[in-house]
Structure 1
């Protein structure tokens, strides 16, 4: 082992004398190629926390199988989300990102676990804390960061910003609290009507959970047996108000009454994955909607204008970070079961940080969309049309 480390050290030392970043990259590739991963455990089983059940005789499995490839993929995505949000925080404080910006760090296991439990052909709609879901649904960090800075290369061409991002089968990013829930039921109705065995995951927060439109949607979805997974991401605070002060009942998974429900540990990616698989099977079996409450936690404030420590203590945030962090939890599982090692995870961390920095560089140098594109993309697959401007005598062209 000592001899191997000496060889690696010599390779890196020699590479740095060559030609800057390219030489270091060449040295890093030699290091990776010299390491064998044959001794790592390819697959392991883990006991996970059971779910609280409502109107269900049995719930998701309490043991989850994780392959090494899955674990590394989840780890990379979790880290990408975390680093992306921290970079967004930095750019916002530098006044490069303006307007509303709601960060997702701390809640990453929800998005990664949900995506691991459904199919790419399934559908998803969420509220304004949407950066993580844009990534798991196929968006790139580069597109997301450019959208945050309002640039032409953004995922909504610089016109949506933090709250309005879209990809195939992902319907946003919606800024009106709770309004995406009936829209999600509409998507689920389309899934049933088209008969493709698809479903819609419809997400909202604990702050929206008391709205009347959500209960109206529960009613329609249950009557029509829509393939809809309603998910309440309960991060304990609706803006600056704790759930105990806002809701007479904080058992959000029971709020559907006649709709079956699950309460899930939303900080554990494996718990979320297994619960989502269970819920998806329920919907695909024609049993109608199901409700999931993911108990999670946001590290930042509600938005960038909220420091997040006036209604909760720094000690509370630190305790969650130290005991329930989704990245640390997955990392510890993989290390303790010899599914990876610290060096391999550090390599991933370096790659992630480089991708984030490259995306941030693009997001600060890409041009803003030109004025003549202001009215474009009002409709999908339509012929160019004229749109009235700021007064009746001005006309602007719109193309899809």
Structure 2
């Protein structure tokens, strides 16, 4: 049985747009990066745990493709994909996760704290929902200085039950701030299915309580995500205030590397794998006769990821003296 394509992706079959290869390449870069991190962890080369995003690539890629370089983004501890999509270099991301001096944060942040302010990635955050107020603050800064920049917060479904979520939406709406709240609904808050913790079927419906638009989108359709994000970003940029978007997707792996995800019902993973975001876009590009073909895009991304890993592995270990630099305070 052929995989059903959503309207936005199916429209590619009539002639893939010029940017389709770029979207696919970015998703492959993230997918292969995460697969490599999984291998590095298995080999004992990653300190601490990792929280990977295979299957969720269309959300961060579609969202960040709608942003300017000067726009800002915050994300969760499952944020490798979002930080890469915002423009952080692959080798420095690998270096950070490996704890090397050439990592994004000098090897101090690790997997859950990737940050690259130079590309507007204000940081992934290990505390559920804690980064939403940071995006609100960035939006307030933009509004105050008249910069015209937009801030985006990408967070999971579980964060919609956290106080910071409600406080952030309320403040952003009252002050009509240029911020977009993007729910990456991967169906599980750690090990708990969404319906066991949340009394509504559509998380985007919570927007009504804060006087802002609430949009739902197929989060495995990168073209659809990009379209709804473009509209929300354009609205924010001209002073019309925030939007709440729910992107429905699926976490193909466990919560962390210690989680085999045995709590998932039989057949659930297979149903979502049939709608893998990379497969959806690749199939649509083939149907549209896209050039370069999807296979070439995958090979290019694989070569880029392999080269980035080699550079990261050659990075030196941090100087022990650096542990007291770039911190709020240090003992004399």
Same fold (TM over 0.5): yes
1:315 and 2:264 correspond: no
**1:130: Cα distance to partner?**
1.1
Q: Which residue does 1:259 correspond to in 2?
A: 212
1:210 and 2:153 correspond: no
Hey, what's the Cα distance between the residues in 2 that align with 1:119 and 1:362?
A: 28
Hey, what's the Cα distance between the residues in 2 that align with 1:347 and 1:334?
A: 12
Q: For structure 1, which segment, 157-166 or 312-321, has the greater mean C-alpha deviation from structure 2 after superposition?
A: 312-321
Hey, what's the Cα distance between the residues in 2 that align with 1:252 and 1:141?
A: 32
Cα RMSD between the aligned structures?
A: 2.0
Q: 2:282 aligns with which of 313, 331, 335?
A: 331
Does structure 2 conserve the Cα–Cα contact (< 8 Å) formed by 1:96 and 1:364?
no
Hey, what's the Cα distance between the residues in 1 that align with 2:50 and 2:132?
A: 21
Q: Which residue does 1:377 correspond to in 2?
A: 326
Hey, what's the Cα distance between the residues in 1 that align with 2:277 and 2:165?
A: 29
1:277 and 2:220 correspond: no
Q: Is the partner of 2:204 in helix, strand or coil?
A: helix
**1:196: Cα distance to partner?**
1.4
Q: Which residue does 1:116 correspond to in 2?
A: 65
Please, which runs of 5 or more residues in structure 2 have no aligned partner? 1-5
Q: 1:363 aligns with which of 312, 317, 321?
A: 312
1:300 and 2:249 correspond: no
Q: Which residue does 2:133 correspond to in 1?
A: 182
**1:144: Cα distance to partner?**
0.9
Does structure 2 conserve the Cα–Cα contact (< 8 Å) formed by 1:68 and 1:340?
no
Does structure 1 conserve the Cα–Cα contact (< 8 Å) formed by 2:16 and 2:289?
no
Please, which runs of 5 or more residues in structure 1 have no aligned partner? 1-45, 50-61, 380-385, 389-394, 396-400
Q: For structure 1, which segment, 116-125 or 87-96, has the greater mean C-alpha deviation from structure 2 after superposition?
A: 116-125
Q: Which residue does 2:330 correspond to in 1?
A: 387
1:156 and 2:105 correspond: yes
Q: Is the partner of 1:263 in helix, strand or coil?
A: strand
Does structure 1 conserve the Cα–Cα contact (< 8 Å) formed by 2:55 and 2:277?
yes
Q: Which residue does 2:173 correspond to in 1?
A: 222
Hey, what's the Cα distance between the residues in 2 that align with 1:276 and 1:63?
A: 18
Does structure 1 conserve the Cα–Cα contact (< 8 Å) formed by 2:15 and 2:289?
no
Question: What does 1:31-46 correspond to in 2, within 5 Å?
Answer: none
Does structure 2 conserve the Cα–Cα contact (< 8 Å) formed by 1:266 and 1:296?
yes
Q: Which residue does 1:10 correspond to in 2?
A: none
Q: Which residue does 2:8 correspond to in 1?
A: 48
Q: 1:100 aligns with which of 37, 49, 57?
A: 49
Does structure 2 conserve the Cα–Cα contact (< 8 Å) formed by 1:266 and 1:272?
yes
Distance 1:278 1:125, change over 3 A: same
Q: Which has the larger radius of gyration?
A: 1
